[in-house]
């Protein structure tokens, strides 16, 4: 199963609210409005959760990590300068949260696969045999992705699964588009080799 097929299984990304609405909420937050941050959370939480899901795959910590993103945002929002849209700022935090998680996970035993998540990617009308086969293939793809260095994995998934441009990815990961392109190229090459090696064995 290629990443292109994996991409087709994910739901479309959530559309984030317009920047002028976010700017108003930030102003209210800084003025001490107790409801402003809750409104920011509601506006962005689905998009953050889906992005973390695309990057991390079937790990049970996705919900906790989503909450971590907004804890970090709450602490940092007072110093947010507005150089980028709030959505971009939030997703930079999400990417860094995912990167930290992947680096830490590389030093400890793999987390158990969340099979319920895999089932959400499979067509509900599929027969039990087809569902079992696709679940196994999806788990295999994510197992191979787990062997790729976090920066390459993140760039590859943002490019292939989410369809972002090199320039958009560069803004999220604080790198040049050229560096992102190299990460995607190397990540794709490594993934293809891992898939071919395990399928041949």
Q: How far is the C-alpha of 198 from the C-alpha of 147, rounded, in Å?
A: 12
Q: How far is the C-alpha of 149 from the C-alpha of 99, rounded, in Å?
A: 10
- pTM, entire model: 0.83
Write down the pLDDT at residue 17: 60
Per the CB < 8 A criterion, the answer to whether 13 and 47 are in contact is: yes
Write down the pLDDT at residue 4: 58
C-alpha distance across the termini of the chain, in Å: 16
Structure tokens at 27: 């102003």
Task: For residue 195, give its domain range.
Answer: 3-200
Number of domains in the chain: 1
CATH number, position 125: 1.10.1740.10
29-61 exposure pattern, b = at least 16 Cβ within 10 A, e = fewer: beeeeeebbebbbebbbebbbbbbbbbbbbbee
- Report the half-sphere exposure of 92 (CA within 13 A, side-chain side): 17
* Residue-by-residue pLDDT tens, the chain, 201 positions: 456 555 655 555 555 566 678 889 999 999 999 899 999 999 999 999 989 988 888 788 989 999 999 999 999 998 888 888 899 999 999 999 999 999 998 755 555 666 777 777 777 788 889 888 888 888 888 888 889 999 999 999 999 888 899 999 999 999 999 999 999 999 999 999 998 887 655
């Amino acid at each position: 199963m290629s990443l292109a097929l994996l991409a087709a299984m994910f739901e479309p990304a959530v559309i984030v609210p317009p920047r002028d609405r976010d700017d108003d909420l930030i102003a209210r937050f800084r003025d001490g409005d107790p409801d402003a941050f809750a409104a920011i959370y509601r506006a962005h939480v689905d998009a953050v959760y889906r992005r973390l899901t695309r990057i991390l795959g079937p790990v049970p910590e996705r919900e906790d990590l989503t909450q971590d993103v907004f804890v970090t945002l709450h602490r940092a929002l007072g110093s947010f300068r507005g150089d980028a849209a709030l959505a971009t700022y939030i997703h930079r935090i999400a990417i860094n949260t995912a990167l930290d998680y992947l680096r830490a996970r590389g030093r400890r035993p793999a987390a158990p696969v969340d099979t319920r998540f895999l089932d959400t990617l499979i067509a509900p009308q599929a027969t039990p045999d087809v569902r079992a086969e696709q679940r196994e293939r999806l788990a295999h793809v994510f197992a191979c992705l787990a062997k790729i260095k976090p920066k390459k994995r993140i760039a590859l998934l943002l490019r292939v699964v989410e369809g972002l441009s090199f320039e958009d990815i560069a803004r999220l990961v604080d790198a040049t588009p050229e560096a992102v392109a190299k990460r995607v190229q190397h990540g794709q090459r490594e993934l293809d080799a891992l898939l071919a090696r395990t399928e041949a064995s």
